[in-house]
Amino acid sequence: MTQRVGALQEDYLARGRPLGADRVLWEIGAGGCDVRSLRARLDLDSGYLSRLLRSLERAGLVRVEPGATDARVRMARLTAEGAAEWKVLDERSDELAASILEPLSRAQQERLVAAMDEVTRLLTASMVRVEVVDPRLPVAQYCLTEYFAELGRRFDDGFDRGRSISAGNDELTPPAGLLLVATLRSEPAGCGALKLHGPEPAEIKRMWVSPEARGLGLGRRLLTELEHAAAAHGAPAVRLETNRTLTEAIALYRTSGYQEVAPFNEEPYAHHWFQKPLKL
């Protein structure tokens, strides 16, 4: 693969730079990007990224300057020459892709594209990090805010957090419970919470996956990790309730071994109640 796409060449796409520099130029894009986010997105060492940016600055393609609202934030932006170069890279990337497909039959082309889509999806899934975080942190609050917003959009009568059974910050902080947050390229991608009740079944709450991360199996991964956490804390089972409009979630729970049971609480937005025994 590296040979076929020219990743090892110092003159990638015949533009006089290696692939690493061109990837940085591409990621900066038309809107610019702060250096911290750029480093996280590409998972680059700060020193190496600085060297790449300096080389692009010397070539007149990029300028790095303080942020408009916070001078501590450094912003990388394309110059006019950089924007023109970005367009050339886009065109030549398309030409390279066409040259890879051209010798293949139509059936082979379809197989290759489908295989590359699958590889991309699985590699992206492998890059997701899931960690227990303090629910008060900005990344956690972002996920919870998006979770509530989605419920408001999807529920037939909207969603009022004050009417729902609580799962506040204190309830999601050990030892009372915990909150898992998933990140992809340092950006929030999903969350799931657990309320612990000693020897009683634990409650799964706040299951949410960002639209950009759907299709990666992240919901199932979060659910599995919450089950493991509940078992590690001695819970004999996990249980949850959900709304009838959340059809994807209902399908996930059923295919993950959850059985529908009689209502075990008075959650006003719930139509289904599920429980799953755990192996301690």
Average pLDDT score over residue span 64-89: 91
**Bridge pairing between strands 200-209 and 237-242:** parallel
Q: How far apart are CA 6 and CA 15, in angstroms?
A: 12
CB 252 within 8 A of CB 223: yes
Question: Quick one: tokens of 9?
Answer: 């060449």
Helix (H/G/I), strand (E/B), else coil: 273: strand
Residue 67 banded pLDDT, cuts 50, 70, 90: confident
**What contacts 275, CB < 8 A, 6 or more positions away?**
201, 237, 238, 239, 258, 259, 261, 264
Question: Quick one: tokens of 113?
Answer: 């594209």
Cα of 130 vs its chain's centroid, Å: 10
Q: Is the dihedral of CA 248, 253, 254, 255 positive or negative?
A: positive
Average pLDDT score over residue span 173-177: 97
Q: Name the residue type at position 8.
A: L
Average pLDDT score over residue span 104-127: 96
CB 112 within 8 A of CB 104: yes
pLDDT tens-digit map of 98-109: 999 999 999 999
pLDDT of residue 71: 75
Average pLDDT score over residue span 190-212: 97
- Give the percent of the chain with pLDDT over 90: 86
pLDDT of residue 72: 81
Cα of 4 vs its chain's centroid, Å: 29
Residue 73 banded pLDDT, cuts 50, 70, 90: confident
Provide the phi-psi class of 81: left if phi over 0, else alpha when psi is between -120 and 50, else beta.
alpha
pLDDT(115) > 80: yes
Average pLDDT score over residue span 159-184: 96
CB-side neighbour CA atoms (13 Å) of 273: 9
pLDDT of residue 280: 66
**The 3-state secondary structure of 119-188, one letter per residue:** HHHHHHHHCCEEEECCCCCHHHHHHHHHHHHHHHHHCCCCCCCCCCCCCCCHHHCCCCEEEEEEEECCEE
